[in-house]
Structure 1
Amino acid sequence: MSADDVTTPRVRIRAALAGLPAYVAGKPAAPRTDVTAYKISSNENPYPPLPSVLEVVRDAAGEMNRYPDMGVSALTHRIAEALDVDPACIATGTGSVGVLGQIVQALCDAGDEVVYAWRSFEAYPIVVALTGARSVQVAVDDRGRHRLEAMREAVTERTKVVIVCTPNNPTGPAVTQTELRGFVESMPEDVLIVVDEAYVEFVTNDDPVDSLPLLRDHPNVVVLRTFSKAYGLAGLRVGYAVASPPVAEALRKTAVPFGVSTVAQRAAVASLDAYDELDVRVKQIVAERDRVVAALRDEGWDIPDSEANFVWFPLGDDAVPFAALCDEHGLTVRPFAGDGVRATIGEPEASDRLIDVASRWRAGARPRS
């Protein structure tokens, strides 16, 4: 049966879906015979799983005929132990974006507002629209940084949630602890402030965000984290929120039942147990990031400070052509049409090629038409 054979249904699909932007995933690297192709479009960790984590995954796969622990008990307690918080403060989900969906579902009705910087994580408008709430986007500054004062001014009586993405995806800068504390203290107590820290492990600035003390002082703060980036578990989809117990309980109520698989739960526990090994890899990625940023700036690029595992090229209307030139040279990057290009810090060989392509672009090279 083909799609043309199916009669158009008369069911009433929600009007909100008609204008819903599609999430654009990073393209996989196309196979090449002339050069090694690299995918640096999805902010994935380039290192393979640690042997200790892979062993746990293999063992857990033998139980895939059984439902996972719906309470995610072992992982919840292990996260709580690592962060020195009560397990009642932890809510898990299918990646940090899954937990964000739980947050917006728990807080927002149709017509409510969610404030966040833009450009920022492209899932935000999708998650918000699915609840019938309205996105209020506040433009980042010319260095890709949050304009927190402008975001505060955008808050109204209809605002239920404010999202601070730090480091900001896709532009790279992070807010400081001083900035975030002042912002949190200026907010109404009935507005939930989500601090999205998907890339927190890569931050090296002089005043890094320490969000947990903010949560202890301000129960309207939620800290959002993931195992996808620094921990290298992107394919297993597991993230979590740290929140006041009543908020965390609400998030558990909006979670998809059995959403976090047994494999994901055990791999995340094993990754926390092996954090010292993983931290070595994180430091290597940070050093490579700093090398790439320095090299690009030496070539004349105005690259924003990055506190994540990627760099941002603020190319405006040249974003798509630059991505096409990268593709011609065996690099898959992530263009954001009209804004810029995000390139993940991957293998050193991929970084070298990115620097070379960026140099060619500045010298006048353009993709073949």
Structure 2
Amino acid sequence: MTSIDDLSAGASVRARTDLPADPSGAPATTDEGLRPRGVFGKLPRYAAGKPPVVVEGLESFKLSSNENPLPPLPAVLEAIASETSINRYPDPMTTALRTELAGYLGVPATDIVTGAGSLGALNQILATFAGQNDFGAPDEVVYAWRSFEAYPISVGLAGAAGVQVPVRADGTHDLDAMAAAITERTRVVMLCTPNNPTGPILTHSEVLEFLAKVPTDVVVVIDEAYQEFVRRPDAVNGIGLYRDFENVIVLRTFSKAHGLAGLRVGYSVSQQTLTQHLRVGAVPFAVSQVAEHAAVTSLRHVGEVEARVQSIVDERTRVVAGLRALGWTIPEAEGNFVWLALGEHTQDFAARAAEHALSVRAFGSEGVRVSIGEEEANSRFLALCGEYTHRPAAR
């Protein structure tokens, strides 16, 4: 008879844990061990914004995750506290939220599909429209780069191949190059406006011109996670476009303007020719009843939300003006962040910021994204930039 000890010993042979760990901290396995899909070895790892280090005598500020520095509205906090039915599954259709959003956006509730943040909604789109085609070859997804760093991860996990089109020197999408990158294998194109992490928006006229070049069987996703912070009057508004284009899907979120990042509430808006398929691929119960109640309450107090957003926009205006007064060249900033194209000095600047109890988001040797935070944090950031000598210049 085989003993439990014998079984345990056999298991240790098949999946050894004394091998060197990979960079993620997981133990390595032998060739005979359990392994993930091959795509996992090709995917970049998502790097969340780090918390600030503690510096004696200074209050620490996190400017690395594009979070709203203000807490949810008092009414929202009260609504969360009153939610007691978490022993029950949430409404899988998020009917209350979709109904509230329909009135707010002026769209049919049937055109809205919710998800766990806009990223969750995006993953539902990719799972539905991009992966491996009937011949086993990967579909293609075209997007600008650098853009939201989760894009290549989500595309790869869906089984599709990402086609990255470099942004221009000013951080804007090169829409002509993106249109030229579309092939017969392209299933989805993603537009990020304002572009995270560089900051500029896409205008209504240039997106209209771009859509005229895109085949009607290619889905175009307009990612508007930061739409509420945009102030340029000629900026594209996806809700104003999707009604005229059957292949357009708009992504939005409650994480940024509404300050509900920790509750994960996002949604997509598209015509029913697309939503009928998206609902099949939607993750069941992705939005909890707590999150739905919070989002509905926040929408019902949207005037207060807009006032808070304007206070952040005012701080953004101050930071941008301060940087330019110091001689820094930065791209247009229409989100709740600024982009510093510091190149080889990226990591050094991030380290200097840490010494000032500020966490910022460094991207390799490309640049640093700095979220607009509390007034004191923004002032300290400007002071750091004033004494930093390797500032980006016009190209």
Could you say which TM-score interval applies, normalised by the shorter chain?
over 0.9
For 2:284, what is the secondary structure of its paired residue?
coil
Match among 271, 283, 294 for residue 267 of structure 1: 294
Opposite residue 355 of structure 2, the aligned amino acid is E
1:59 counterpart = 2:82: yes
Identity of aligned residues (%): 51
Unaligned runs of 5+ in 2: 1-11, 20-26, 133-137
1:81 counterpart = 2:126: no
Query: Pairwise mapping of residues 1-16 of structure 1 onto structure 2 (< 5 A)?
Result: 3-4=17-18, 10-16=33-39
Taking only aligned residues, the RMSD between alpha carbons, in angstroms, comes to: 1.7
> How far does residue 11 in structure 1 lie from its aligned partner after superposition?
3.6
> How far does residue 303 in structure 1 lie from its aligned partner after superposition?
0.9
Q: Deviations over 1:223-248 (max 9, x none)?
A: 00000000100000010000111312
Q: Deviations over 1:153-210 (max 9, x none)?
A: 0000000000000000000000111111111122110000000000000111130212
Q: Find the aligned partners of 2:389 and 2:35 in 1 and give their Cα distance.
A: 51
Match among 143, 148, 168 for residue 195 of structure 2: 168
> How far does residue 3 in structure 1 lie from its aligned partner after superposition?
4.4
> How far does residue 12 in structure 1 lie from its aligned partner after superposition?
4.7
What TM-score does the superposition give when structure 2 sets the normalisation length?
Answer: 0.89
Count of residues paired in the alignment: 363
Q: Are 1:99 and 1:251, in contact at CA under 8 Å, matched by a contact in 2?
A: no
The aligned residue for residue 297 of structure 1 is: 324
Opposite residue 176 of structure 1, the aligned amino acid is T
The aligned residue for residue 367 of structure 1 is: none
Q: Find the aligned partners of 1:133 and 1:218 in 2 and give their Cα distance.
A: 24
**Displacement over 4 Å in runs of 4+:** 5-9
1:213 counterpart = 2:240: yes
Q: Deviations over 1:338-357 (max 9, x none)?
A: 21000000101000010011
Q: From the CA coordinates, give the structure whose radius of gyration is larger.
A: 2
What TM-score does the superposition give when structure 1 sets the normalisation length?
Answer: 0.95
Q: Are 1:72 and 1:260, in contact at CA under 8 Å, matched by a contact in 2?
A: yes
For 2:292, what is the secondary structure of its paired residue?
helix
> How far does residue 336 in structure 1 lie from its aligned partner after superposition?
0.3
Q: Find the aligned partners of 1:66 and 1:131 in 2 and give their Cα distance.
A: 30
> How far does residue 360 in structure 1 lie from its aligned partner after superposition?
1.4
Match among 24, 37, 45 for residue 22 of structure 1: 45
The aligned residue for residue 49 of structure 1 is: 72
Match among 120, 123, 126 for residue 98 of structure 1: 120
Q: Find the aligned partners of 2:360 and 2:240 in 1 and give their Cα distance.
A: 36
Unaligned runs of 5+ in 1: 365-369
Opposite residue 270 of structure 2, the aligned amino acid is A
Q: Are 2:193 and 2:226, in contact at CA under 8 Å, matched by a contact in 1?
A: yes
For 1:115, what is the secondary structure of its paired residue?
strand
Q: Find the aligned partners of 2:323 and 2:298 in 1 and give their Cα distance.
A: 33
Q: Find the aligned partners of 1:315 and 1:325 in 2 and give their Cα distance.
A: 13
Q: Find the aligned partners of 2:115 and 2:238 in 1 and give their Cα distance.
A: 20
Q: Find the aligned partners of 1:116 and 1:268 in 2 and give their Cα distance.
A: 29
Query: Pairwise mapping of residues 45-194 of structure 1 onto structure 2 (< 5 A)?
Result: 45-60=68-83, 62-110=84-132, 111-194=138-221
The aligned residue for residue 3 of structure 2 is: none
> How far does residue 254 in structure 1 lie from its aligned partner after superposition?
1.5
Opposite residue 283 of structure 2, the aligned amino acid is V
Q: Deviations over 1:125-163 (max 9, x none)?
A: 000000121110000011100011110000000000000
For 1:343, what is the secondary structure of its paired residue?
strand
Q: Are 1:162 and 1:194, in contact at CA under 8 Å, matched by a contact in 2?
A: yes
